[in-house]
């Protein structure tokens, strides 16, 4: 029997690359904008899908424009908690059992909201959804695995005036300093706040990320922040190879100790290698891919988002996932931004199955990789037990659908 969309919806899934501000329900965005007097290009879902949240974008810059509107409505506790709660509910509705929600807390800091307040608000929304679902009879009886989540804090590669009140103040205080030093300082502050939220407030901050404009803003500028995260057992992922070449990925895994890579879409693109000292570009790519595979560094694949921000891909079959799969790299399917990319985890997996002819065994391996390579908030033994529950439940769904190769 072939793999159907209904089967994919039923199996337990993860989303390890999931931006909070890129996944707000459009109806909620409109409602919050009206409540807070924030101007939108349209106040209908149809209008916003036509003007802001499109099917296709010219480039990454246009893709990111929508975040100005979503970020504007996420400046108070109740809005952050609501959006986090709804995001968890939307994932649960399609069988997603574990999510890692990432966002840049410093974009939500203001005179009424400090950074710990931001962490608390998001966590309260996610915890509410978790408590509701895990209190149901089907979970308590063991018929279905529980829902889990972690929080990943995102530092910004760069920022300017107008990004947030916090960044405006930081730029004012350090008017005479080099910008990249200020960017590094902000990311170090975020690591310290993330550790405080985790250790003093018991908030499941499981990882640290670096997001924003990749081209012109190398990850190595944030090496001090990642070193601090590394020393404090905060797991690490980096947006790399999305808008720049293989060298960006190399930097992320060697200089920043990345456990996972966000996107990695240009891993196999020799044309984007800029270092003139690299004479054999194909050999460089082979060695890089081998290193990633050997270290089991997982790549967070976001098919729809990559197609939208990289028009050169043209057709989905051109996506490097095919090469990654052939090389047996550890990969997991993610949405990136459910609203901005108008997608779900089910949609992403179904596209992959249809395009790359993924069989039953390989699909199961990829889905389970998501759970195994998660930054699970808990002990290693607890994580193993949870993954076992997921595998057993997956097997039951397979038997129900009578799937076999």
CA–CA separation, 181 vs 116, rounded Å?
A: 24
Give the pLDDT of residue 121. 98
DSSP state of 53: S
- Block residue for tokens 């979970």: 139
For residue 106, give both structure tokens.
């410093």
Q: What is the CA radius of gyration of the chain?
A: 20
263: left (phi over 0), alpha (psi -120 to 50) or beta: left
DSSP state of 336: B
Give the pLDDT of residue 1. 63
Select from 20, 59, 49, 68 the least CA-distant residue to 308: 59
Give the pLDDT of residue 126. 98
C-alpha torsion sign, points 22, 24, 27, 31? negative
| 369 neighbors 298 (Cβ within 8 angstroms) | yes
Homologous superfamily assigned to 5-401: Metal-dependent hydrolases (3.20.20.140)
Question: CA–CA distance from 230 to each of 207, 225, 239, 255, 282 (Å)?
Answer: 10, 9, 17, 11, 31
* Rounded mean pLDDT for each run of 10 residues along the chain, 405 residues in total: 92 98 98 96 95 84 88 97 98 98 98 97 98 97 96 97 96 97 98 98 98 90 98 97 91 96 95 91 96 96 93 89 95 97 97 95 96 97 98 96 75
Domain map (residue ranges) of the chain: 5-401
Give the pLDDT of residue 398. 95
DSSP state of 113: B
CA–CA separation, 157 vs 37, rounded Å?
A: 30
Question: CA–CA distance from 146 to each of 129, 305, 385, 390, 393 (Å)?
Answer: 11, 28, 12, 9, 11
| 173 neighbors 119 (Cβ within 8 angstroms) | no
- Block residue for tokens 């996944």: 23
Instruction: Encode pLDDT of 245-285 as tens digits.
Output: 999 999 999 999 999 999 999 999 999 999 889 999 999 99
């Amino acid at each position: 029997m072939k793999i159907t969309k209904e089967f994919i919806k039923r199996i337990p899934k993860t989303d390890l690359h999931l931006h909070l501000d890129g996944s707000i329900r459009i109806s909620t965005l409109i409602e919050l904008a009206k409540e807070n007097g924030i101007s939108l290009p349209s106040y209908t879902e149809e209008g916003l899908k036509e003007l802001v949240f499109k099917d296709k974008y010219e480039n990454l810059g246009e893709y990111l424009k929508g975040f100005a509107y979503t970020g504007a409505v996420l400046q108070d506790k109740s809005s952050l908690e609501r959006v986090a709660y709804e995001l968890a509910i939307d994932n649960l509705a399609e069988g997603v059992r574990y999510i890692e929600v990432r966002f840049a807390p410093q974009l939500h800091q203001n005179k009424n909201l400090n950074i710990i307040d931001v962490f608390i608000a998001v966590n309260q929304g996610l915890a509410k959804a978790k408590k509701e679902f895990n209190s149901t009879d089907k979970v308590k009886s063991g018929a279905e695995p529980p829902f889990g989540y972690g929080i990943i804090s995102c530092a910004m590669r760069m920022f300017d005036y107008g990004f947030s009140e916090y960044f405006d103040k930081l730029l004012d205080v350090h008017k005479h300093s080099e910008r990249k030093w200020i960017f590094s300082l902000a990311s170090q502050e975020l690591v310290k706040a993330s550790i405080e939220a985790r250790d003093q407030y018991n908030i499941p901050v499981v990882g640290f990320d670096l997001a924003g404009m990749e081209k012109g803003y190398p990850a190595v500028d944030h090496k001090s922040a990642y070193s601090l995260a590394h020393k404090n057992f905060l797991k690490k992922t980096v947006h790399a190879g999305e808008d720049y070449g293989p060298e960006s990925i190399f930097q992320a895994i060697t200089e920043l100790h990345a456990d996972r890579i966000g996107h990695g879409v240009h891993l196999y693109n020799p044309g984007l290698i800029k270092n003139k000292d690299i004479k054999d570009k194909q050999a460089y790519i082979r060695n890089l891919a081998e290193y990633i595979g050997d270290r089991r560094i997982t790549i967070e694949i976001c098919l729809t988002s990559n197609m939208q921000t990289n028009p050169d891909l043209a057709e989905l079959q051109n996506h490097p996932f095919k090469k990654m799969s052939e090389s047996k790299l550890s990969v997991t399917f993610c949405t990136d931004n459910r609203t901005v990319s108008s997608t779900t985890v089910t949609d992403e997996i179904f596209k992959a199955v249809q395009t790359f002819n993924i069989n039953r065994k390989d699909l199961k391996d990829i889905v389970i990789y998501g759970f195994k390579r998660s930054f699970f908030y808990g002990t290693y033994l607890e994580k193993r037990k949870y993954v076992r529950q997921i595998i057993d439940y997956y097997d039951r769904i397979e038997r129900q659908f009578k799937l076999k190769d």
